[in-house]
Amino acid sequence: MIGRGAVLLAGATLATGAASASGDPPTPSRARATARLVEVDLVAEDEEGRPVVDLAAEDLVVLDEGDEERIVSLSGPPAMSDRTAPVALPPRTFTNRLELRLPGAAPVTAILLDALNTPRADQTYARQQVLGFLRQIPPGVVVSVYTLGRGLGVLEDFSSDADALVRKLEEHRGERPAPAEATPLDIADAGLDPFTSWLEETELDLYDHYAKDRALRTIRSLVAIAHHLEQVPGRKSLVWVSGSFPDWVGRASVPLPRRPRAGSQSFSAEIERAARALSSSSLAIYPVDARGVRAPTEYDPAQARIDREMKPADRSGQATMDALAARTGGRAFSHTNDLAGAIGEAARDARSAYRLGYEPSHDKWNGKFRRIEVRVRRRGVKLRHRSGYFAQPEEPSEKWYRVAALDAATWSPVDSTQVGLTVRVTPSADDTLALEIRVRRQDVSLRSLGDGEQGTLDLWLVQLGEGDAHLGTVSMIADLRLSAAEKERAALTGDVLLRARLRREERAVLLRVLVRDVTTGALGAVSIPLERVVTSPTE
């Protein structure tokens, strides 16, 4: 169902279309970005493992595939005094801007309990270990707890309240893993050769289907978390407790996205978006093997002993874990029962984290992995950082790619924060909603146009009912053309103002506002419970 809404954009022209496969909005023209910033989080420690908090840019050298690059920015670990209380928003005002919702510069440790890729027998133990960590959260650490089952779930977002976090996880019953956990049946001796062959083929098709579905759900959940945490000030870490991890992170390149053919399924665009999201968010991933300590493959319970000569336990997925940790700046934890200790180590890394930025001088944006090395001129200091990044070309502007990205964000349970949005909603008697959308100026690309500026944004307004029933989407393209006066006003306020009027669908309970920069692909989303709009007091 496609709704209609009137939208007034300061200094903009507007195209309106349907958010469906047959009604993709037209592709606007765009200019090529001229500079790219690569950001690298550094954990600095002395020889005894104590944090080093007084490094300066002149103490560091950054190499991109062996070539030295100029450091353009360096921010150090935040001091406790830098932290401020969250900002109270006016009634009927909603935002995805984390600097308004979080204590300033507080490090964030996100925990993902992955039931989708973890055997049922290991889920209970992993849950108990996470509870052990939550009961002793280090001071000043903000924690988010997510679950992955049939989809991404949010138990608690950005909280330092140990009691609340423990209570939410204790109430969570978990989910059964996907049918792909099952091994193929042994039907070789069934005696019915044609029927047996058909069963085997059907079973393998189902196994392949569930494996692809599981991979797709996992990739999209990673993208959602990375986009959600991107604007977190300071260090952010994702502790991913799982029984298996995707193998694409170990590859030397990421496939460039292509439009899937009718009836086919291609993960190239999904994998490309995941690589881009992890790179741009600087999210450090700490893979934790939920299987814990496993006996060596030659262990015999009847002998009740383990010899050093025995082959090590199953290490399937270990290379993927190591690659995922190295490429994002985290650490991998496997063959250990101390999952709580692993989570605590990830949280402690934030105390000595710096963020370094540089603009690569190369022009090889071909999707291949480029290695980063940061050296320190000071003796006795050890650095840990992500080992590199995928040099993805500019975000595709084809309409199928843009619609796919917006559609995935529509169904995400967490809001993307790449583009900061603050939305004020005013209802009227005729069920019309007046929207005042403030887009953070620094998050969108505006190019010079005479004395003013221009840019292009995708804008979606999505109404959902109970059970996430889709009731209507209005999709628009905002061709921003700011005059000199509007450019000056945006520089002073820090925002670009968009206004819209939308007729509320009768059964709508949630409104999602999505804004995507066509040039960079940066995306912001805000979820608005319509009950809070109706019941909020008038100022």
- State how far the Cα of 344 lies from the Cα of 134, in Å rounded to an integer: 9
CA angle 331–332–338, rounded 5-degree value: 105
- 226-238 b/e with 16+ CB inside 10 Å = b? bbbbbbbbbbbbb
* Structural contact between residues 276 and 270, judged by C-beta atoms closer than 8 angstroms: no
HEC profile of 312-354: CCCCCCHHHHHHHHHHHCCCCECCCCCHHHHHHHHHHHHHHEE
- With CA atoms as reference, report the closest residue to 346 among 165, 137, 158: 137
- pLDDT for 19 equals 36
- pLDDT 10s digits, 15-30: 444 333 333 444 544 4
Judged against a pLDDT cut of 70, whether residue 298 lies above it is answered with no
Pick the CATH number of 5-32+397-535 from 3.90.340.10, 3.40.50.10310, 2.60.40.150, 3.90.950.20: 2.60.40.150
pLDDT at 427 over 80: yes
**Single-letter amino acid, residue 82:** D
Q: Which DSSP helix (H) or strand (E) runs through 311?
A: none
Q: What is the number of other CB atoms lying within 10 angstroms of the CB of residue 260?
A: 14
Reduced to 3 states, what is the DSSP secondary structure of residue 219?
Answer: helix
Instruction: Write the pLDDT tens digit of every residue in 481-506.
Output: 888 998 888 889 999 999 888 999 99
Closest CA to 151 of 111, 110, 109, 115: 115
Superfamily the domain 106-354 falls into:
von Willebrand factor, type A domain (3.40.50.410)
Confidence category of residue 536, pLDDT binned at 50, 70, 90: low
Cβ-proximal residues to 368 (8 Å cutoff; 6+ apart), any chain: 252, 253, 390, 391
Distance CA 282, CA 267 (A): 23
pLDDT class of 217 with cuts at 50, 70, 90: confident
Please give the single-letter amino acid code of residue 384. Answer: R
Q: How far is residue 200's CA from residue 192's CA, in Å, rounded to a whole number?
A: 12
What is the average pLDDT value for the chain, to the nearest integer?
A: 79
Q: Where are the domains of the chain?
A: 5-32+397-535, 106-354
Which residue did the predictor score with more confidence, 149 or 373? 373
> Cα(488)–Cα(435) distance, rounded to whole angstroms?
23
Model pTM score:
0.77
Predicted local confidence at residue 380, as pLDDT: 93
* pLDDT tens for each residue of 29-38: 444 445 688 9
Pick from 172, 278, 271: nearest CA to 228: 278
Confidence band (pLDDT; 50, 70, 90) for 422?
Answer: very high
3-state secondary structure of 430: coil
Q: What is the mean pLDDT of residues 75-101?
A: 76
Q: How many whole angstroms separate alpha carbon 444 and alpha carbon 523?
A: 9
Give residue 383's pLDDT band: very low, low, confident or very high (50, 70, 90): very high
